[in-house]
Structure 1
């Protein structure tokens, strides 16, 4: 009876290739792999042809789905190749790590004491053999304790240091992933790790429990009579698994450990989640490059650089065949200069940037994203255990032909079409459940309210969110309805309720819509905060625009809008009194919300009452200057003021008796918005010029930040036009309209008389009336 321990590193084509060759040579009669025993029932799915890596084992607590861990695999993961070998050789394979039922129970207990989130819930996994694939050297300034911790977390870094490398990923790629002769590789790893672990116990009790669990599982295989036992584990654990020894100490260490109920399943994974920059601790720097090394048996440089040239051409960048040849030659020359057997990723990148990108580093971001990392999304069989909500989503995706993809995809929907409207329903419902598969984009170059543009990208985190959302129901429709009803029952503020109603209407959930309308009516009758009433209007007004396509009952919504609008008009003047600067700025937002609602609905009676209220506020001396100025601006934009009324409001706001700070606030308020209309208000500019000229130097200096802020929101072209206007403000009116050079008028009456009749005919009006 012999035990063969293979110390590996996660996600490496060279390591995976060496492990498979070693297993073929050894022909073990059982494989023991560092991994979660809780997922043992998931292993048979590996043989299903529909299982296409990258995929991940997801283990979670059904009662608390947010507490979960992922174990990702791809084609070149050594553990994956070991499992594939076991299936092809008809050899039993078992996971032997400490069960996640125990590990999650320990974390749950710590959370109860410390109230900290679960470590690893965002993709951390204990399947990483060295606890971290990020190789870093112990620094000279570190303490002994810090160096010991770093040594433990990354023991392979010492091998890189001994070989004279400072870039440890480069050392690993050259020595392991590109190595052709792997004879004695695992024996060397075991020998090196054995030396490193002399007089170094496990890092903590948790690691001791994990290693004890692995030894206990090895003993079980020994008692069952297996003769050639192959153990695949992290390199750091290898020395303590070669000889399990007596089980008394391990049994005592594992006795009485608390467990919780867990469930497991397979989920699709992506290359981006395998990369360092995704934040996943057991990742690799370039999963796309490692996949290339795994799948391409010869001519790596030619195939990789050709692929890069094809990608550049696809994005309208020049990359000729001659340049490809030169780039391949350069990468091979660089590898020869560096005494390498073949070019690596660094050599390829240098050659591609120098030759194909002509020294420009910008296209290398494209190479990094599309090739080094890639956008591959794995697939899992349909019969993999999943919650009912997941099954319903998969059926909808197949029926609506919306295939999940890790790539960014554009989707244009015409809501008049039944199938496309159903797609919109699904995307809106998922968004309400916290699954933003699609992000809605502004509609351009299309008329009507029946168009929607979406940008789709499926993320692996959504699989866990679906499990969490299953508590609301077993179908997308029932789950979204239950979620909205629960959110409405928690009595949020009125603006939040109207946003929920807008989401329910876009998702077409009639039961939730009815419940939300009741809650909004109830809340509207008792809400005393005028700003809440005003902020609730835009979502309701936007809803009315979809009534023709989504068959919304506008008669149910318009009475609510009328009630909110009337109460807003009554309470607004009083709510604007006695405001400080911060409150005044907030009131501007609420006033704009009412203005947005009026413009959407375009009801003449509402606009008349609204303008009357704005005029009342603009003429009041007891209201903050910022609010008065903005009300004046809204009236100007609607052309609701004649020249005399505008002049009267300006004189009132900028009179010498008005405090300087309030006058400056009024200026900021009236300038808040688009700058084009303001450019044509000559009397306003003259009044501003006169008011500013009369300020004392100290007062002007104190008010300068306010004035700068007032003009800062305009676009650069608008500010340039304002500067030109101020420059010629005191010129005669006939000379203010100048050409680009500022030399003389550009308006010629004789020429205009030739153009105006034709222009009138085009516009369908009579000329000269």
Structure 2
């Protein structure tokens, strides 16, 4: 009977290769691997054709799925190679780490923090002590050049014993329990009569497993551990997420580079440099075969100068920076992102046990031919096609339960009501979010309906509720429509704020339009929208009075939003009522001038007012009886949305010009910040047009009354141009003759 300890580095390709050779030479009859014992029943999936790493064991508390832990594996992870060896040779395999049923339940507040630098990766610490910049180069030199794989791991055990002695740290209670559990697992395997027991664990633990204390002392450490039910499954993982520490606390910086080391061995550097050239060419950057050769030679020269058998990642990156990037950090960042990580998503078999909701989502993804991928994938949908409509509904339902697989993009150049554009990118954490969403239902439709109803019951404002209703219709959640609509009616009846009412109309109108495209009955929704518009029309004349300037600015944005929505609604009766309300607000002297000006602008733009009426209101608001600040605020509201009206109306132009020219110097300076903000909101072409009109003398068909001699002193007149430039924010005034 013999126990062989294989101290490995998690996710180390050189380590994985040496372990595979050692296991073939040893032919163990029992394999113990650092990992969660709750996953023993899932070992058989490793090595199957449908199982493509990177993949991860997911363990979560049955009563609280958000409390979860991942154990990720790449093809070059030593533990993965141990699992594949066990399945290929029919060797019993057990995970031997402290079960997560205890670790998720135990309290850790009394534990002593452990030194991060040594504990996270002791092999890296040793590599740096030996003068190497990365662990893989050091491990290649130490491991790959040797053929005595069994004796090698004895040397690793000796090294780690020296490291632990030098560190002289106090082990945390959790670490002591982990190692005690591993030793008990070894004892159990010995009692079962296995003759050649192979133990694969992090190199840090080897010294603790090599010298076995009494079973009684380990039993004392493990006595009275808290416990809770834990569920385990396999999920796809990504190289991007492999960079994070998880599960047994291991993460790697360059999973894409390690993939090359695993696949190509001694030629990894050349293959990686070839990929660098291909990547740069895809981004329209210069990269030739000659540069690949130059970079390879430079990397080999650097390795030789440093006394290393072959180039490592440090040498390759330095060569790439010099040959391909011309010392450009931007290009180097692209290479790091795309090739050092080289994000890819693994696959797991369909028969992996999981919760019904996850199975339902996977079945829909397969039926709709929407494979999950870690990289970003564009998706364009035409909702007039049934299959595309189903894909849209799937994405919206996933979003409702918190799984943001797809991100909506702005549709340009096509009908927005029939087209949707998405960017899809699957994250491994979505598996946890789907498990958490199971509390709302066993199918995606049921869970999305349940989540929508819950969100509706706790929503505090009308805009939040109507935005939710829009999402409900986009996701075709018919069961959620009645309770959410009832909540909108109740909250709408109790909301006196006209701004909230107007802000809530927009999502409802959009929902009605989406319903038309998707074939959904939205007649009841139209009644709710009409009710909100009617209440807003009643409340707005009173809500526009006695407002502070900040509150008026908020209401102005809400009025603009509500106006666009009501016009999109295309109900002539509601539109007439809305214009009548705006007319009352615009003519009332009690309305805040900012709001009155914006209402006048809408009425003039939509030709509900004739041009003369807008000029009359401006004349009244700019008379001597009105304080200049009030006039300036009215102008800000009236000109909000662009300077087109002012540029194309001689009468409005003249009134604004006369009012500005009549301001005394001190008053004008006081008004200047407000005027600058107003005119600064115009587009560049609008400002240029206004300046050109000012330079040319204003309207040509209207005589301007001036006091005294009718002859204009051009020298004196030119002095006003710098002030106009300051107001309008344009250099066009300097172009005057």
Q: What's the secondary structure of 2:226's corresponding residue?
A: coil
Q: What's the secondary structure of 1:391's corresponding residue?
A: helix
- Aligned equivalents of 2:318, 2:171: Cα separation in 1: 40
The aligned counterpart of 1:311 is: 279
The aligned counterpart of 1:175 is: 138
Q: What's the secondary structure of 1:76's corresponding residue?
A: coil
The aligned counterpart of 2:717 is: none
Deviations 1:563-614 (A, max 9, x none): 1111100111111212223322221232123112123123343333322322
The aligned counterpart of 1:259 is: 227
Query: Is 2:436 aligned against 1:472?
Result: no
Residue pair 2:66, 2:432 contacting (<8 A) in 1 also: yes
The aligned counterpart of 1:197 is: 164
Query: Is 2:428 aligned against 1:460?
Result: yes
Deviations 1:208-231 (A, max 9, x none): 222222222222222223333322
- Aligned equivalents of 1:360, 1:720: Cα separation in 2: 40
The aligned counterpart of 1:28 is: 28
The aligned counterpart of 2:186 is: 218
2:614 to 625, 628, 646: 646
CA spacing shift, 1:707–1:32, aligned 2, 3 Å: farther
The 5-angstrom pairing of residues 347-366 of structure 1 reads 347-357=315-325, 360-366=328-334
The aligned counterpart of 1:383 is: 351
* Offset, 1:511: 2.4
Residue pair 2:255, 2:341 contacting (<8 A) in 1 also: yes
Q: TM-score, normalised by structure 2?
A: 0.87
- Aligned equivalents of 1:680, 1:406: Cα separation in 2: 53
- Aligned equivalents of 1:194, 1:358: Cα separation in 2: 45
CA spacing shift, 1:683–1:82, aligned 2, 3 Å: farther
Q: What's the secondary structure of 1:372's corresponding residue?
A: helix
Compare 150-159 and 616-625 and name the one that shifted more: 150-159
The aligned counterpart of 1:285 is: 253
Q: What's the secondary structure of 2:532's corresponding residue?
A: helix
Residue pair 1:274, 1:280 contacting (<8 A) in 2 also: no
1:431 to 389, 393, 399: 399
1:442 to 394, 403, 410: 410
The 5-angstrom pairing of residues 548-567 of structure 1 reads 548-567=516-535
CA spacing shift, 1:428–1:692, aligned 2, 3 Å: same
Residue pair 1:273, 1:280 contacting (<8 A) in 2 also: no
- Aligned equivalents of 1:347, 1:556: Cα separation in 2: 68
Residue pair 2:243, 2:252 contacting (<8 A) in 1 also: yes
Deviations 1:361-412 (A, max 9, x none): 4333332232221131100011100111111111111111111111211111
Query: Is 2:599 aligned against 1:631?
Result: yes
CA spacing shift, 1:148–1:719, aligned 2, 3 Å: same
* Offset, 1:65: 0.7
- Aligned equivalents of 1:19, 1:436: Cα separation in 2: 39
CA spacing shift, 1:244–1:489, aligned 2, 3 Å: same
The 5-angstrom pairing of residues 29-68 of structure 1 reads 29-68=29-68
Q: How many residue pairs get matched? A: 707
CA spacing shift, 1:445–1:730, aligned 2, 3 Å: closer
Residue pair 2:6, 2:203 contacting (<8 A) in 1 also: yes
- Aligned equivalents of 2:693, 2:14: Cα separation in 1: 70
* Offset, 1:478: 1.8
* Offset, 1:293: 0.8
Compare 487-496 and 291-300 and name the one that shifted more: 487-496
Residue pair 1:654, 1:663 contacting (<8 A) in 2 also: yes
Q: TM-score, normalised by structure 1?
A: 0.84
Taking only aligned residues, the RMSD between alpha carbons, in angstroms, comes to 3.4
Unaligned runs of 5+ in 1: 114-118, 120-144, 746-769
- Aligned equivalents of 1:155, 1:321: Cα separation in 2: 39
* Offset, 1:46: 1.0
Query: Is 2:450 aligned against 1:482?
Result: yes
CA spacing shift, 1:529–1:744, aligned 2, 3 Å: closer
The aligned counterpart of 1:18 is: 18
- Aligned equivalents of 1:332, 1:339: Cα separation in 2: 10
Q: What's the secondary structure of 2:370's corresponding residue?
A: coil
The 5-angstrom pairing of residues 103-182 of structure 1 reads 103-106=103-106, 150-156=117-123, 158-164=125-131, 170-177=133-140, 180-182=144-146
- Aligned equivalents of 2:207, 2:403: Cα separation in 1: 44
Query: Is 2:217 aligned against 1:249?
Result: yes
